[in-house]
Amino acid sequence: MRNIVVLDAPSNLGLRPPAPGTVPGCHKLAGALREQRIVQRLHALEGGVVVPPRYDRGDWQEGDGVFNAAAIASYTVKLADRIERHVRAGDFPVVLGGDCSIQLGASLALRRVGRYGLAAIDASPDFRHPGNSDRIGAAGGEEVALATGRGQRDLTDLEGRGPYLRDEDVRFFGIRDAFEEDRAELAALKIPVVTVGDLREWGADAVARATAQAFEIPEIDGFWVHLDADCLDPSVMPAVDSPDPDGLQPAELRALLRPLVTSPACVGLNVTIYDPDLDPEGTAGALLTDIVVDAFAQS
């Protein structure tokens, strides 16, 4: 049995301000899930916190590239150092975000160790880059593109290790069926995308088991799971920055997540985007915690 280690990565550097003069509240995700006793319920070890730089876009304007880029770059290296240490020790890091840009820390850490895949559970593929958009800026919607080498070099080639992920080693799950343009680009790149409708047709458990098995090949050293809370339907998870309709229901996410995180080839998980500021009663945070804990429960 591997030791689960809970590590906080409370960075909101990759999201746009929800309103002028404010900052995204997802940096409170870790604290909210800890209030739900996630560490104790996972029987996990304490991994502490990787403190992010201050959220400050300065005089950034549209067209200037990724905002907070220098801060994200330095934080990615810092977070990668901690994740790498746990992976090399044989631990299973559960990283509590934060926005999706924290995934760069995991991708860089694993690139240092070997060749790893990514199973991303997300409402959207976070694949915005200069080749498909003129609205580059928020790394939290661009982290998979950055990790596969698309975008500005100060984020895509840290330590001269870019790309951190190969296209063929990325899998997307829970993408909304309406995002046809995103899916077309990924299909052309031969990056598999399993939409909400696909999961319901094929069965989330079966898809997850097949995916885990596909990563258990000698050429790949393992895979990481990225969980964005916005994969859930807004009826149960309204506390995200982009609550798109027609998402997964809790039972569907549980069925998808469990075979992935319990696979011997899986080396870690990060949880992102849930915003406690948008959840005054804490019900969405409690649900998210339950889902993560249930995924690791012995059947």
pLDDT digits (tens, 9 = 90+) for 145-199: 999 999 999 999 999 999 999 999 999 999 999 888 888 999 999 999 999 999 9
Instruction: Using DSSP bridges, classify how beta strands 116-121 and 92-96 pair: parallel, antiparallel or unpaired.
Output: unpaired
**Using one digit for the tens of pLDDT, what is the confidence trace for 52-96?**
999 999 999 999 999 999 999 999 999 999 999 999 999 999 999
Phi, psi of 119 (to 5 degrees): -105, 105
- Tokens matching residue 223: 């895979």
Chain-centre distance for alpha carbon 215: 18
- Are the C-beta atoms of 12 and 26 separated by less than 8 Å? yes
Structure-block tokens of residue 244? 């798109």
Q: How confident is the model at residue 210 (pLDDT cuts 50, 70, 90)?
A: very high
Q: Is the pTM here over 0.85, yes or no?
A: yes
Task: Please state, in angstroms and rounded to a whole number, the distance separating the CA atoms of residues 227 and 223.
Answer: 13
Q: How confident is the model at residue 1 (pLDDT cuts 50, 70, 90)?
A: confident
Six-digit token string for 152: 């500005």
Residue 253: closest CA among 277, 242, 269: 269
CA distance 224 to 261: 8
Residue type at position 229: A
* Coil, strand or helix at 197: helix
Question: Three-state DSSP class for 172?
Answer: strand
Angle at 126 between CA 247 and CA 70, to 5 degrees: 140
Mean of pLDDT values over 115-142: 97
Which two three-digit tokens encode residue 70?
A: 């220098």
For residue 184, the tally of other CB atoms under 10 A from its CB is: 11
Whole-angstrom Cα distance, residue 198 to residue 201?
5
Helix, strand and coil content of the chain, in percent to the nearest 5, comes to 40, 15, 40
One-letter amino acid of 145? A
Cα separation values, 64 from 24, 130, 134, 135, 137, Å: 20, 12, 11, 10, 8
Task: Kindly state the tokens that stand for 3.
Answer: 């030791």
CA angle centred on 111, ends 107 and 115, rounded to 5°: 105
CA–CA separation, 64 and 150 (whole Å): 16
**Max Cα-Cα span within the chain:** 52
